[in-house]
Amino acid sequence: MIIREAKVEDIKQIQIVRNSVKENTLSNPNLVTDEDCKEFITVRGKGWVCEIDKQIVGFAIADLKENNIWALFLDPKFEKKGIGKLLHKTMLDWYFTQTKEKVWLGTAFNTRAEQFYRKAGWTEVGTHGSNEIKFEMTYKDWTTNANR
């Protein structure tokens, strides 16, 4: 298993992973384009992938422009192996070396993702849109809880 920075050449496999998930699915896969991914990993922030046998099985993307976690997704066949936790840690460690601004994300209610973020120390602060919970992580909380 390799965690490495995402490259533009990874976008096709990133999209396959994004569209393979069973929760937090896109209502229309065309809503997140290859160009969107490219902008987020090359201009707005940075992304990481988990690669096993030259196949991308998970990815995470942080957006410095909006202080947001844009994505953290795993191929369902590779869940419960610690990959999400490792991608999450890698991404937030990097994020907080770039800025000390709090970071936020939205995720659907009553999902495994919601439980993952709660366990990782994120604080629920309200809703994002009409169907997502909004969570925040401060620099202080991350540095206090980074070993969860």
| Cα–Cα distance, 125 to 12 (Å, whole number) | 34
Output 23 or 5, whichever has higher pLDDT: 5
| Predicted TM-score of the model (pTM) | 0.91
Which pLDDT band holds residue 23 (cuts at 50, 70, 90)?
Answer: low
pLDDT confidence of 34, banded at 50, 70, 90? confident
Using pLDDT thresholds of 50, 70 and 90, give the confidence band for residue 79: confident
The torsion region of residue 134 among left (phi > 0), alpha (psi -120 to 50) and beta comes to: beta
pLDDT of residue 44: 95
pLDDT at 32 (0 to 100): 74
CATH fold of 2-145, please?
Aminopeptidase (3.40.630)
Which pLDDT score is estimated for 33? 83
Which residue type is seen at 7?
K
pLDDT exceeding 90 applies to what percent of the chain? Answer: 74
Measured distance CA(93)–CA(46) in Å, rounded: 12
Q: Which residues pair with 16 in a beta bridge?
A: none
Q: In what order do the strands lie in the sheet with 2-5?
A: 2-5, 45-52, 55-63, 68-74, 103-108, 132-137, 123-128
Q: What is the pLDDT of residues 81-96, one digit of tens each?
A: 999 999 999 999 999 9
- State the Cα torsion 62-107-24-36 to the nearest 10°: -30
Measured distance between the N- and C-terminal CA atoms of the chain, rounded to whole angstroms: 20
The average confidence (pLDDT) of the chain is 90
Quote the pLDDT of residue 25: 57
